[in-house]
Amino acid sequence: MTTLLSIPMMLFVHDLRAACRYPGDMLASVMFFVMITTLVPLGLGPDQALLAQIAPAIIWIAVMLASLPQMDRLYTREARDGVLEQMLVSPAPMPLLMLAKALAAWVIIILPLILSAPVLAVMLGLSINGLLAIVAFLGLGGLCLVLIGSMAAGLTLGSRRSGVFIALIVLPLAMPVLIFGVMATTAVLTGGDAIGHLMLLAALTLILLVLAPPVSAAAIRFAEE
């Protein structure tokens, strides 16, 4: 049991170290995220009340779009270096390894965006409660996005236009995450009841935690064979 758990932990650490060798990928996502959230206010004008009202939607959409390019690279380097083949013959269950990679992807892709979000939220005029809600809900919703991206990356592995196909898969499936996240954040800002939206977002996360790793594992096994 200890061995089966140690292999996913080693894979998790390996992915974090590999990401540190390509800091430009993380920096590009953060810069894209910053560009989206700063260009929208420039286009709408200096109305602080309007910006505060639409800030949750701006930030959530920016996170979703900024994370898409990195979804395309979730498994491409591992496929090229033979890591996926080693994972397939590993004694650890393949879905458990996929879960470890998804958690590592959350740290690599989503966490830098979450750390950038409060600064941009202040610029958009959000309150302290809004800042806390953005950080908390993005953490949960970001995991959903990564799990959806993991399935899409596995299904499109080896495709010449995988980036286009990933976008076509991820964007429709991510709509519930976007809706629940924006509505929960807006409810916090307006003093409404955010519990219902938060529970729906949490339920969606649990479903994806159960569904995404086996689907990703099956897709990668099919692609490698």
**What is the chain's pLDDT, residue by residue, as a tens digit (225 residues)?**
556 678 888 888 888 888 888 777 778 888 888 888 888 777 777 677 777 788 888 888 888 888 888 887 788 877 777 777 888 877 888 889 899 999 999 999 999 988 888 777 777 777 777 778 788 888 899 999 999 999 998 888 877 777 778 888 888 899 999 998 888 888 887 777 778 888 888 999 999 999 999 999 898 888 776
The angle at the Cα of 94, spanning 90 to 98, to the nearest 5 degrees, equals 120
Instruction: Provide the 8-state DSSP code for 161.
Output: T
- Distances in Å between the Cα of 51 and the Cα atoms of 20, 30, 58, 82, 121 are 35, 21, 9, 47, 10
Half-sphere exposure of 206 (CA within 13 A, CB side): 6
Instruction: Provide the 8-state DSSP code for 192.
Output: -
The angle at the Cα of 201, spanning 198 to 206, to the nearest 5 degrees, equals 125
Of 143, 112, 139, which Cα lies nearest the Cα of 212? 143
Residues 6+ apart with CB under 8 A from 201: 137, 140, 141, 144, 177, 180, 181, 184
Instruction: Provide the 8-state DSSP code for 58.
Output: H
- Rounded distance, CA 83 to CA 77, Å? 8
Helical spans, DSSP H, in 127-194: 128-155, 162-190
Please give the biggest Cα pair distance in the chain.
Answer: 58
Query: Full-prediction pTM beyond 0.85?
Result: yes
- Rounded distance, CA 212 to CA 74, Å? 14
Of 82, 108, 87, 106, which Cα lies nearest the Cα of 19? 108
Continuous segment of H or E residues that includes residue 191 = none
Q: What residue ranges do the domains of the chain occupy?
A: 2-224
Task: Read off the amino acid at residue 7.
Answer: I
- Rounded distance, CA 211 to CA 220, Å? 15
